[in-house]
Amino acid sequence: MSRIGKKPVTIPGGVTAVVNGQEVKVKGPKGELQHVLVDQVLAKLDNGTLEVFPRDDSQEARAMWGMSRTLIANLVAGVTEGFTKKLEITGVGYRAALQGQNLQLQLGYSHDITYPIPPGIQIQCPRPVEIIITGIDKQKVGQVAAEIRRFRPPEPYKGKGIKYAGEFIPRKEGKKK
């Protein structure tokens, strides 16, 4: 039995959820999201709570049960509060700046990197070495953060590069004489 799947998702005030077959639509103050559930699970909406059940007792249905419940909970959290990822840039001369709908990155290469901001994502640069990514879709926010980090991942000797806020970079000792 899935411990996560058993918990119902409560729908807060100001948020409306609609279950139409395998499609779940959630609309809230920040926007609207939808998700199509896999065939092994089914969702029911009762009195402001949304519950997910496996269709049968197969291994695959039980595996999809908890995941589907978590995806629906992420939809509800996204339309109410939204999601945020923070990136920190470390290195001499490394910086980021917004230019219209693009993020301009200077990361020690011979050229600047221009990253177009996808729709549904907001990026802020309160300081040149800090990037804040916000949006209502958790998967999209995480994907954008991973793509930006991939331009210059942190290296283990000096820690230069782009890292998530709070991420620990294990350091290596340099060469000895």
The full 3-state SS of 26-38, as one line of letters, equals EEECCEEEEEECC
Neighbours of 152 (CB within 10 A): 20
62 phi/psi in degrees, rounded to 5: -70, -30
The mean pLDDT of the chain is: 93
Residue 175 pLDDT greater than 70, yes or no: yes
Instruction: Please compute the mean of the pLDDT values over residues 52-74 and round it to a whole number.
Output: 92
- Whether 5 shows a pLDDT value over 90: the answer reads no
User: Which CATH entry fits the domain spanning 3-80: 3.90.930.12, 1.20.1440.130, 3.40.640.10, 3.90.1150.10?
Assistant: 3.90.930.12
Q: Are strands 102-106 and 113-116 parallel, antiparallel or unpaired?
A: antiparallel
Q: Spell out the residues 6+ positions from residue 25 whose beta carbon is closer than 8 angstroms to its own.
A: 17, 18, 32, 33, 34
Answer whether 51's CB lies under 8 Å from 4's CB: no
Per-domain residue ranges of the chain: 3-80, 83-164
Q: If you compute the radius of gyration of the chain from its CA atoms, what whole number of angstroms results? A: 21
- At residue 142, does pLDDT exceed 80? yes
Read off the DSSP letter of residue 157. T
Q: Return all residues near 114 (Cβ < 8 A) that are at least 6 apart.
A: 99, 102, 103, 104, 105
Q: 2 pLDDT exceeds 70? A: no
Instruction: Taking residues 1-10, report their average pLDDT.
Output: 85
89, pLDDT greater than 90: yes
Tell me whether the CATH fold assigned to 3-80 matches the one assigned to 83-164: yes
Q: Looking at domain 83-164, does it have CATH number 3.90.930.12?
A: yes
Selection from 4, 163, 3 nearest residue 74 by Cα: 4
